[in-house]
Structure 1
Amino acid sequence: MIPASVRFDQSTLTTLLDIDPLVQEYRAFFSLFDWSVVDHWLARRSKCCGSHGHPLTAYLKAFLLRIKEGLLYAKQLRDFLCRHPLLIIELGFHLQLDPSADYGFDVERTLPTRYWFGEKLRQLDHTLLTDLLAATVAALKQEIPGLGEVVAFDVKHIYAWVKENNWRAYVGERYDKTRIPVGDPDCKLGVKRSTNQEQDDGSTQEKKELLWGYGSGVAAATTPDYGDVVLAEKTLPFNEGDVTYFRPLYQQSVMALEQFPTHITADAAYDAWYVYDTVARRGGMAAVPLNARSTTTFDPDGTPLCPIGLRMQPTFHYAHPNGYRARRYRCPLLVPHATGGTCDHEQFRKGKGCHKEINDEPGGRTRLLMDRASPLYKAIYTQRTSCERINSQAKELGIEHPRVHNGRSVANLNTLIYLVINVRALLRVKSINRGLLQIR
């Protein structure tokens, strides 16, 4: 709605909106979002509850503006909007009309309070934000041929806004995981970094860097010409392992792309059979470093070798408690029948012989037999840096130190940050494509 005042009539205010640089910047920015996603969400919700107050899109646009302008606190957002009344009109807040005011409405009475801005951020349905992110992926896919053929995965640490993370504040038992921080009851204690330090006597001692907070998992894709985009994201408490993020991120990526990625890549924290399995069944590669947990060696066909280098004998399959199909291999000197050969291994002297339990799923086999020195592996693994660049952009937008006090607000802020990153990418991609289509 365009108001009118004793100073400006509606036509004048319309002209001011059309020429104001900040309004024009955000009008172009918001035009790249698929707001029909919000309409569909509201249509489903209207069956069980009514709507009141300002439009949901006005809040969403305000929160996106908060991210883009680097405003850490709800009060800073409110103060910024108070200084730019034309933006309040453009965002779509319901105006409290006052013809005596310069712009025809009372700014203070129109805007929600600082508290309600924070509360509304907490109350946002995260599914709605995820759907908006998926819509940006769909828009990017239309512009970028082959987007998502290779998907990279990573996790970014986030410091909770609690005094336990502030070294200037005295805290008794700072890293006692049983003591819930008052500043954010949803955050958890986790290990940011673990290193081995050499001691004076030549031994090594593990040193862990701990923090209270969250992890932001991200799935990203990159192309040489267009740069990096976010395909999916997931926020969890920081005590969750990196590989925990994989399945929800992979599922979101497939849904957003409407196709399965050909290859995936991640660091050694994602070295799990089911990570490889997602692409191995379709002939793809999961370029993930091997986090060796055993010294078993294999023949090229995948048959394990016993400690003295003999091919072990396969016996039977069974369902492993960890959810995969496994196969047991036995000592070739005893199975299927004794050959008369001897071995000095302790298990052979006991009469049982060695045995190995091998994951017989395609992902389990691929994990052990993949050629990690091949050119294809190296080319795919190089694309893992797309996540690092996305994390760097997210850090610049404030993801590392959110100024909110609960997990829902942290998760919503994270998704809003990735929305800003993707829309910036969409602006860049459209500009590149326009340049390619120009007649020279």
Structure 2
Amino acid sequence: MSGACTTLVDDGVIRGVIATVDCQTRAYAQGGYIALTSGSPVFQALLTALLSIFVALIGYRMLFARGDTRLSDAPWIALRIGLILALVTSWSTFQTLVFDVADRAPVEIAAIASAPLQGSSGSSLAARPVDGLQAAYEELTQTAIAYGRVAGQDAKSYSSPQAAAAEAVGLATGVLFFSSAGVISASKLTIGVLTAVGPLFIVLALIEATRGLFVGWVRAMVAAALTTLVTWLLVVLMLTVLDPWLTTLADQRRGQALDPQTAISAAALIFVFGAGQMALTLGAIVMAMSFRLPTLGSSRDSDGRTAGATAARGDPTSALPQPSRAERLAYELQRDTAQSETRSRAAAMAAATSPGRQTSLVFEDRPRLGDTYRRPVVSARRVEAAR
């Protein structure tokens, strides 16, 4: 444990866990990033190799007109290379664009979204969520102990309402911890580990064959960030709902007038919010899986869209290889030549039927662009008749 994080020990269970995980995760993410990008010759060799392969592929596609890469895409290609180099060579840039967005932005967004609940609560538990969680955890723990003392030896046999209340409140204490501090800490740890190895996946975004790994990395980061966001939102709502119940439990405990129904109802509310937390976490994962990386040139390639739609419908002809840009250009030239000859033939036939002119039709053997054979083409030679 680093020296900056040792002061967080014995600061309460929930408060200490959240603060310690946050501190250690930030230190680990920064140290892992620097060690990978600056102290690893393997990573430097990988970066150089992938950049060389990427530039060679771009040059090959432009030189032989393969794929959809065009000269007009050069600014976007240069921008992409520059962005990747900036992210894998500067921790301050990576921290601002990646780590802070995934780690701090969800907390700030949750604070803004839950401001009406926090403002209307005054000095309630929701005004300061971390301290509120710690206070709720301590109150539930003391309440469970109090009901356990009252129940005496019947605490394990459920033979009295006090024993059932003690068991329910004790279980609710664990649910409260794992559905709040546990989920938040797990998402922070995920962000920290993915940040430490992030440069490796960012470099893999250069090559199309490995770009799927980069997309998966981004989805994992988004899922962790969304989980943090929805957890803090649910925590504020839960503290707002539980505040009067916990106040009643505290008054009953201090007045030695324990009501098992109040304790069981408060525990049931915590169980409901725990189930809601599970549903929101699954929802965050589903939302993160919808991330798609746009493909360069996909908006202008109508043939590619048509082929993709045909493949989605299960057409067996979709497995046929698609023509390259050079082949499509040759086909367009062949079609234009054929249309021009058709118009010339029609004009010649019209001139042959005009009065006062004599036209002889001659068959010529003229090659056509793209033809693998020769076929006779009718041409017209107009001879002015002597009058």
> Between Structure 1 and Structure 2, which shows a larger proportion of strand residues?
1
Name the TM-score class by shorter chain.
Answer: under 0.3
What is the TM-score when the length of structure 2 is the normalising length? 0.20
> Between Structure 1 and Structure 2, which shows a larger proportion of helix residues?
2
